[in-house]
Structure 1
Amino acid sequence: MRNLLSEVESFGGTAAEDDDVERFFVETPAFASLAKGRKHLVVGRKGAGKTALYLAMINSAEREGSLSVGLTFKQYPWAAHLKYASTEVDSTERFVSSWLFLTLVETFSTLIESSGPGLNRDQRRAVDDVSKFLRQNYGTTHLDFKHLFPAGGLRLDKVDVKPEILKNSLGGISQARTSESLGATLARVNDWLFKKLEVLGDNIPKVYVLFDELDLGFDPNKSEYSDRVIGLLLAMRIFVSRITRNKIPVHPIIFLRTDIFDLLHFGDKNKIVNAEMVELAWHDQLNHTGASLKHLIDWRIKEELGVEDLDDAWGSAFDDQLTRGTQHKFQHMTFRTFLRPRDVIQFANLALIAAQTRARMEPESKDDLRITNLDIKAARVPYSTYFRRELDDEIAAVEPSWQHYLEVLRTVGAAKFTRADYEGAFEIARRKFALKLSIEESLSLLYQFSILGFERAVTGAGLIYQFRYLDPSVPFESDASYFYVHRGLKETLGLTETLT
């Protein structure tokens, strides 16, 4: 086993793109639902593991001999995409055809690159027809999806729809140019591509089409952003319905931040939530069942230290002493998180740094080669700073001046307080900052992002502090007897436990 204090640099990265996902990924029920094609939308808070899941799906497809195409929208040309928006439907539906086109073309591009023997004459002909269409418009069948929407429109002069194959000639789609809008033309091309895909049926490998980084460019005040995300969700409903009906093994999966999904309003949202969505939610119990953060961190310890038995992992890195005499170290850490992998990994890494610093500064402490309560306590200050920065990344786009309302909490001075305490501090902050929100609106904002919880009576559990990240379905009670600041912010705001 490796020496924790001298040979281990960290328990892995907090960002999936910087982490060894192949080595550290722990499969959860969410992963199983996606792999089996049961769900098509992943919703989770920033840091909940969406990108890790996205990368794990790509790795899994490769291992099982399936195909995958990962679409990340950094530097994506939204202006070109916009040109193909339909002008003949409601605003929330205007991007449906362009998203369907992107998904269909990416599916075919992936299939064409891997298609081999086993196709019958009609199926081979369908593949050849789409190959000709792609080469005519892009010069290749291996596409860069960022250049999928040519400014001058699509060339259709070599698209030849055969009635004996497709049972529908689609009229004038074979003309070189069309007087239709780009959006209308796209709808006709999509129907042609769908019919070609239906010819292939289930005689193709499983294909995953993954959509990630859709939050780039997010602006809650721009309806165009909401419309294009809604368009993608509606497009995938249509796509999944059609391919499921024809037993075609193509599985699109969308990865979306919870706060963005919550802001979207459209007719089929509840149907998507009930039938197609999986929400990334982790627990901090001390077992390894379900979406277990303990399993996640134990696995990382096992990998880094070279521990043979997973059950021995935690005790190989952390000593057995409870914090404050009653609380397991793991739950002392998770109490300061949003129950997200990123938070737990960051806290564990900071505790490791504190242990290594202690060992250098106090040579006599090297007898215990594990992380102690002193190290956990030393990690809380830098962790609290990290936690505040994470919140800024998440909230700034929604409310740029959100940290002014943190200053209200700093003025209150305690983690536990009453509404009257908050109102008094709010008036002091109002004179210092140009506060745009009312007292009620600011409390709601702080609750929305789980900065603030409220005291609530629960049958069988007595009084608890309700935070939104623990149960998003519980509405905020602005007239609660007491409010409580999330424990992860206590150090960065310099708060005492209660007002004296």
Structure 2
Amino acid sequence: MGNNILEKVNFGHIDAEADPNLIRYFLETDSYKRIFSGEKMYVIGRKGTGKSAIYLSIEGINDINFPVTGLTFDDYSWQVHNKIKDESKSIDFAYVNTWKYIILLELAKLILKEQKADSKEVNEIKSFLQIVYGSLTPSFREFLVDKTRRIKCLELPKIPWAELSLGKLEFEDQKTPERKLIASINVVNSILQDKLFHLLSSDKMYFVMFDKLDDGWDNSEEFKSSMIGLLRACRDLNLESRKCYKHLRCIPFLRSDIYDCLQYNDKNKAYPDIEFLNWNLESLKIIINKRISYSLGKGMQSSWEHIFDTKKLAKRTTNFNYITKRTLLRPRDIIQFCASCKNMALRNHHHKILSEDIYEGENEYSEFIYREFIDEAHKQCPEIEQFFEILRGLRYERFTFENFEEEHKKSGIAKSLNSSVVLKNLFDYSIIGIERIGGKVGGSRFEFKYTDPLIRPEFNRTIVIHPSLKKHLKLIERRKR
């Protein structure tokens, strides 16, 4: 056992933040390059597609030419944040200035960190931060909310900017703290933006990034409006910086299911600015090979073959194709499946991962995917576990709409929803797919939303449950004819 090569292999953690070696085998994909260069402004992807890995990779850059700040919104005061909106504007624009204020203050902190000599603008920004926050480096969590989680008080007459010409601002018609704050923010933003953009070096790229936004996701209209505001604020400031020949990269990292829920005017206008994170078989294999190579200190060329037996599985399928077919083409999935296979191989005292280890490891992996689906969908679709019970009751991997409708009625589950609505929810999360007949190679195949985001849910065709769930739901492969 001491010489077992498998013991040395570490596929890494499925959570980028929990992987201390991520920087060692991070894959600089074309997506990463487009995001870094500013060609793309938004990063949209399903859970597990590598959003946080890209975020952490950029955040970890230690180069004076690339000042970076990253904001993560776990344990954030969303309830208070969502109260601070401009009610004089439409829901599409209500939160834009709130987010611009957060971005501009983070940019101010970056500029003060790099500025060696004081100037008029630098001193004014320092005075602003010191007067309002009592610090030159306040946490973004305190920009809108004080330490007791109450609305921040922003008293404009105390701010030493002569050009504000504030005199005595009256807030008689703005009685609530949130209305007072947004009124102040509306005044401050344009002046703060002008000062900061003047101080930006044209030779540097400045990054302000937003991750873990889904931690506050509650499917409410307020949160949707807030996310729309963030997207608009980031795009506006990025474009404004270009007009000044400066390089500001405001980048939100957002889950695709949340983005799909956001409906606003001109949403399609920003489509060319979005980087949708997608993976293929080749890039997934590179991810695993880099991790094997790093673990073993060997070249990448045959890393997979170092630890996986080359014997084919049932139906003459290669082990790589068998594993990837049961993923949703996400790094998280293949990392977890490979780790489960490795654990089984060690338990079985094998020096390579054999077919039986893959079959046994699939049991653990299938349960993992089941939990992933529930974790991803439960806020948008609280009945998701009940929907899985209907699928379990079908017993077969493939079925028709009539089969599902019959099982739905028989189960007594989710009676208030018709079967089409239930299937649409399952389809949107790629828990089920539909049959496609024909194409270049003829025959039929099954397609899921993760393989084709524009695919339409035509439930008059044969429907299939994703292969990753077969073991956990104890499904039979096909109906007997």
TM-score, with structure 1 as normaliser: 0.89
SS of 1:210 mapped into structure 2: strand
CA contact (8 A) 1:5 1:355 kept: no
Q: Give how far 1:115 is off.
A: 1.2
Structure 2 residue 325 is the aligned partner of structure 1 residue 335: yes
- Whole-Å Cα distance in 1 between the matches of residues 203 and 135 of structure 2? 21
Q: Give how far 1:249 is off.
A: 2.0
Aligned pair partner of 1:279 in 266, 276, 279: 276
Q: Give how far 1:393 is off.
A: 0.1
- Whole-Å Cα distance in 2 between the matches of residues 434 and 294 of structure 1? 40
Structure 2 residue 313 is the aligned partner of structure 1 residue 323: yes
CA contact (8 A) 2:432 2:463 kept: yes
Q: Give how far 1:204 is off.
A: 6.6
- Whole-Å Cα distance in 2 between the matches of residues 194 and 419 of structure 1? 56
Counterparts in 2 of 1:29-428, with a 5 A limit?
29-59=30-60, 61-63=61-63, 65-117=65-117, 124-149=119-144, 150=146, 151-161=151-161, 169-172=163-166, 181-203=180-202, 205-220=204-219, 222-274=220-272, 276-285=273-282, 292-307=283-298, 309-324=299-314, 326-359=316-349, 366=350, 369-428=351-410
Structure 2 counterpart of 1:440: 420
CA pair 434-201 structure 1, distance change in 2 beyond 3 A: closer
Structure 1 counterpart of 2:177: none
SS of 1:42 mapped into structure 2: strand
* Deviations 1:295-327, CA, capped at 9 Å, x for gaps: 1111001011211x2102111111211222522
* Deviations 1:33-65, CA, capped at 9 Å, x for gaps: 111112111000011111111101112x31464
- Whole-Å Cα distance in 2 between the matches of residues 3 and 269 of structure 1? 57
Q: Give how far 1:373 is off.
A: 1.0
Q: Structure 1, unaligned stretches of length 5 or more?
A: 163-168, 286-291, 360-365
Structure 2 residue 453 is the aligned partner of structure 1 residue 472: yes
State, as a whole percentage, how many aligned pairs show the same letter: 30
Bigger shift: residues 17-26 or 202-211? 202-211
- Whole-Å Cα distance in 1 between the matches of residues 401 and 84 of structure 2? 51
Structure 1 counterpart of 2:8: 8
Q: Which amino acid aligns with 2:292?
A: I
Q: Which amino acid aligns with 2:303?
A: A
SS of 2:215 mapped into structure 1: coil
Structure 1 counterpart of 2:436: 456
CA contact (8 A) 1:4 1:317 kept: no
SS of 1:296 mapped into structure 2: helix
CA pair 372-328 structure 1, distance change in 2 beyond 3 A: same
- Whole-Å Cα distance in 1 between the matches of residues 320 and 63 of structure 2? 33
CA pair 186-32 structure 1, distance change in 2 beyond 3 A: same
Q: Give how far 1:436 is off.
A: 2.9
CA contact (8 A) 1:202 1:248 kept: yes
CA contact (8 A) 1:319 1:370 kept: yes
Bigger shift: residues 193-202 or 232-241? 193-202
Q: Which amino acid aligns with 2:382?
A: P
SS of 2:460 mapped into structure 1: coil
SS of 1:484 mapped into structure 2: strand
Q: Give how far 1:80 is off.
A: 3.8
Q: Which amino acid aligns with 2:432?
A: L
CA pair 6-36 structure 1, distance change in 2 beyond 3 A: closer
CA pair 264-6 structure 1, distance change in 2 beyond 3 A: closer
- Whole-Å Cα distance in 2 between the matches of residues 337 and 498 of structure 1? 20
CA contact (8 A) 1:16 1:51 kept: yes
Structure 2 residue 463 is the aligned partner of structure 1 residue 483: yes
Q: Which amino acid aligns with 1:257?
A: R
CA contact (8 A) 1:84 1:186 kept: no
CA RMSD of aligned residues (A): 2.0
Structure 2 counterpart of 1:18: 18
Q: Which amino acid aligns with 2:337?
A: F
Q: Which amino acid aligns with 2:110?
A: T
- Whole-Å Cα distance in 1 between the matches of residues 286 and 63 of structure 2? 23
- Whole-Å Cα distance in 2 between the matches of residues 282 and 152 of structure 1? 43
CA contact (8 A) 2:143 2:152 kept: no
Q: Give how far 1:157 is off.
A: 3.2
CA pair 136-170 structure 1, distance change in 2 beyond 3 A: closer
* Deviations 1:434-462, CA, capped at 9 Å, x for gaps: 43321111111111111111111243133
CA contact (8 A) 1:202 1:247 kept: no
SS of 2:472 mapped into structure 1: coil
CA contact (8 A) 1:110 1:142 kept: no
- Whole-Å Cα distance in 2 between the matches of residues 246 and 3 of structure 1? 61
* Deviations 1:244-285, CA, capped at 9 Å, x for gaps: 1112222111000010000010012111222x1101100014
- Whole-Å Cα distance in 1 between the matches of residues 355 and 458 of structure 2? 36
TM-score, with structure 2 as normaliser: 0.92
Structure 2 counterpart of 1:289: none
CA contact (8 A) 1:86 1:182 kept: no
CA contact (8 A) 1:132 1:158 kept: no
SS of 2:252 mapped into structure 1: strand
Q: Give how far 1:205 is off.
A: 3.6
- The size of the alignment, in residue pairs, is 466
